[in-house]
Amino acid sequence: MALSRPAEPHADHGPLLYVTAAVLTLSTVTPAMKAVLRQSDIAPIELVCLRVLIAFACLVLLTLTGPWQELRQMTGSDVIRLTLLGILGVGIAYGFAGWALAYTSVSHYSLIYSLHPTFTALISLSLRKDRASVVKITGIALSLCGCLYAIPEGLHDQAVGFGDLLVLLFTLSAASCVVLSTGMVQRYGAAAATTVMFGTSLFFLLLAAMFWSIPSRLHVTLSSGLLIIYIGIATAAVFFLRNLSLQFLTPATVGAFHNLVPVFGIFMASLFLDEAITANMIIGGAVTLAGVELVRRG
């Protein structure tokens, strides 16, 4: 079922508002996850499972109250494709993300994740969904150099470096999912596609968590429990809003808006988690964002 209806004149800015809201919401999730890991003895895989479970429940409710008919129209091959996309963009990606926060800081996480549009552009170019240009290639190189300059301690601190590597893998997985899921989202809509992706990835995560022996009873404080609920709801909102914007915007445009994530993420990490903002972060972050902007304009 095609959902490409002509946009009304007064709703031209709707897709931009969707992706902006997704990015701003995403900026709050990482500091909240880091706070939960600090406040309780919950393992990263447990936190990721709870995050996806709550998000999936929210998406099911959203789909059942709206475009649930689109689920019935999915073919078996499309369900398999969405399952694989869910494992890539939710299961594997969020697994890397939760594991990474046990080792690295929110600031490093945010800076590396700012490469999301760079990797989105690279993947789009490799799949011939976008055209290469001198400006775009220059922006890709500049953003990579800026990110390396912003996190020098991650290059010689073994624990932090391992966490940074996991964030890099998370960013690659998430960018790949954005590019590869565009057609499916346009065909079935944001709610239905996202619900299937989260449901199948939840099953994958629960199977993976069996190797870490999740305890029968989680010991978390009230504040941590509330944060976990918020993380799950915000995760669902981010995926839904981002996929909704993909119905009208290209993957490169959606990825470009992620340059707001490090700005707000680092600010909140400094404000609520007492993480220091260094000169390297400011300079390297500015260079990275300049490169991201060149990628967008290229």
DSSP for 171-182? HHHHHHHHHHTH
Q: What are phi and psi of 216, to 5 degrees?
A: -70, -20
- List Cβ neighbours of 8 (8 Å cut-off, separation of 6 or more): none
Q: Which of 54, 35, 194 is nearest to 105 (CA)?
A: 35
pLDDT, tens digit, 9 for 90 and up, residues 1-50: 333 444 433 445 777 888 888 888 888 999 999 999 988 888 888 899 99
CA 82 – CA 91 distance, rounded (Å): 12
CB 191 within 8 A of CB 67: yes
Band (pLDDT 50/70/90 cuts) for residue 212 is low
CA–CA dist 123, 207 (Å, integer): 29
Residue written as token pair 């170019």: 125
Contact call for residues 233 and 58 (beta carbons, < 8 A): yes
Q: Which carries the bigger pLDDT value, residue 298 or residue 100? A: 100
Buried b (16+ CB within 10 A) or exposed e, 266-279: bebbbeeeebeeee
Q: Dig out the tokens for 102 from the structure.
A: 């046990």
pLDDT tens-digit readout, 182-210 = 777 667 776 777 788 888 888 888 887 77
Residue 274's alpha-carbon distances to 106, 111, 238, 268, in angstroms, are: 10, 17, 25, 9
Report CA torsion sign: 190, 252, 33, 24. negative
Whole-angstrom distance, CA of residue 214 vs CA of residue 218: 9
* pLDDT at residue 104 tops 70: yes
Cα three-residue angle 295-198-200, rounded to 5 degrees: 120
**What pLDDT, on a 0 to 100 scale, did the predictor assign at position 153?**
63
**Residue at token pair 């007492």:** 274
**295 with 118: CB under 8 angstroms?**
yes
pLDDT at 225 over 60: yes
Give the tens place of pLDDT for each residue, 105-132.
999 998 888 888 788 888 888 887 777 7
Judged against a pLDDT cut of 90, whether residue 167 lies above it is answered with: yes
Residue whose entry in the numeric block shows the structure tokens 């590396």: 112
Q: Which of 211, 191, 186, 29 is nearest to 110 (CA)?
A: 29
Cα separation, 62 vs 66, in Å, equals 6
Share of the chain above pLDDT 90, in %: 17
